[in-house]
Amino acid sequence: MVSALNARLTHHGATDVLRTAFDAVPDLALVSSFGAESVVLLHLAAMVNRDVPVIFIDTEMLFAETLVYQQEVAERLRLRNVRIIRADDSEARDPSRSMHKHNVDACCAMRKVAPLRRALADHSGWITGRKRYQSGTRANLEFFEVETGKIKVNPLARWAQQDIRDYMDENRLPRHPLVAQGYPSIGCAPCTSKVEAGEDPRSGRWRDQDKDECGIHFVNGKLVRAGT
């Protein structure tokens, strides 16, 4: 089914991909970090299906600005089914909140991967905001993928960074406040740093570490890491 959908939608845009996804895949959810570019996908989804379950993983180490922005965007777009997910008692193993300092992969697994898997257990697939330009591991990203038995939908896969900016301008969408402060890619506060002019937009994520994905995305069943 995935190959057929990709072939059918080769020359179509994000809105058509979303409409097709909702028709073809039952129980779709949308996973959003409410980060620097998230509002574009959320706006597109709201125009197609305002009742789509929107899963927001609160790692409890996010910037305060992200938490405020999440509420503002959800209200602005009138999203009716936002689900805020956190690690439960069986998953949380970091009482000192210092795991990221000595094992960043374990921290991501506990705060993001395990809660997301639990949240997606009852869904046949999920929608992401990933794009080809974001990193080398995403260079061949398709609209539809299969990952660990679920359909993953990437409506913005072929958008360029300028497309994102133009869409936000044309639709007067609110920006994440940290973008203007030098954070073009935003995750947890301890693992996100400012990006200097000329640097890759994602260079501020897990800076100086052999890592460029949080672990919620896989390729061929394996967690995506820098250099793979």
Supply the residues annotated as catalytic.
214
| Nearest C-alpha neighbor of 143 from the set 41, 61, 151 | 151
Whether residue 57 contacts residue 33, with contact meaning beta carbons closer than 8 Å, is answered with yes
CA-to-CA dists, residue 178 to 118, 161, 184, angstroms: 29, 17, 8
Tokens encoding 70: 């999440």
Question: What number of CA atoms fall less than 13 Å from residue 180's CA on the CB side?
Answer: 5
Whether residue 50 contacts residue 74, with contact meaning beta carbons closer than 8 Å, is answered with no
Residue that has been written with the tokens 């497309």 in this structure: 163
Query: CA-CA distance, 160 to 183, in Å (whole number)?
Result: 18
